[in-house]
Amino acid sequence: MYDDNNIFAKILRKEIPCKPIYEDDKVFFFNDIKPQAKIHILAIPKMPVTDYNDFISKADNEMIKYFFDKINEVAKGQGLINSGFRIVTNNGKDANQEVPHFHFHILGGENLKGIK
């Protein structure tokens, strides 16, 4: 079940500050507080979904396409299309998912060898 008090829910409600990259009524992108690469952005849908499984079960096709398109737009805006980037999501316990609001990590800005 979705926990309204998770960190990203608080960030969405502006109760906790962050460094925003892009926001509209459907999605929010902001810098990771502990970047694992020169560019490390978190991409979240504005939906109460805990993980990838929850998101893909509940989001309609329009939302799924919208989210992936925005990820690409943000990557493009960061100059990552030619240099390359990684998108990754941790789903659940064995993946060590820390924050139970579904998110993608967008990593880039340097060679990602050795970076998970």
Q: Which two tokens stand for residue 65?
A: 């396409």
Residues 71-90, one symbol each (x = binds ligand 5GP by CB under 6 A, - = not), give -------------------x
Looking from the CA of 84 toward its CB, the CA atoms found within 13 Å total 4
Give the nearest distance from C-beta 62 to ligand 5GP in angstroms. 25
Q: What is the DSSP letter of 109?
A: S
- By beta-carbon proximity to ligand 5GP, the closer residue of 41 and 59 is 41
User: Which residue in 109, 21, 35 sits closest to 70, CA to CA?
Assistant: 21
Site for ligand 5GP in 35-64 (CB under 6 A): 42
The sign one gets for the Cα dihedral 31, 8, 34, 113 is: negative
- By beta-carbon proximity to ligand 5GP, the closer residue of 25 and 98 is 98
User: Does 16 participate in binding ligand 5GP (rule CB under 6 A)?
Assistant: yes
Looking from the CA of 49 toward its CB, the CA atoms found within 13 Å total 22
Q: Is residue 105 annotated as part of the catalytic site, yes or no?
A: no
Stretch that binds ligand 5GP, among 20-28, 64-72, 73-81, 94-102 (CB under 6 A): 94-102
User: Which residue in 109, 107, 93, 111 sits closest to 50, CA to CA?
Assistant: 93
Give the nearest distance from C-beta 57 to ligand 5GP in angstroms. 19
Active site residues: 103
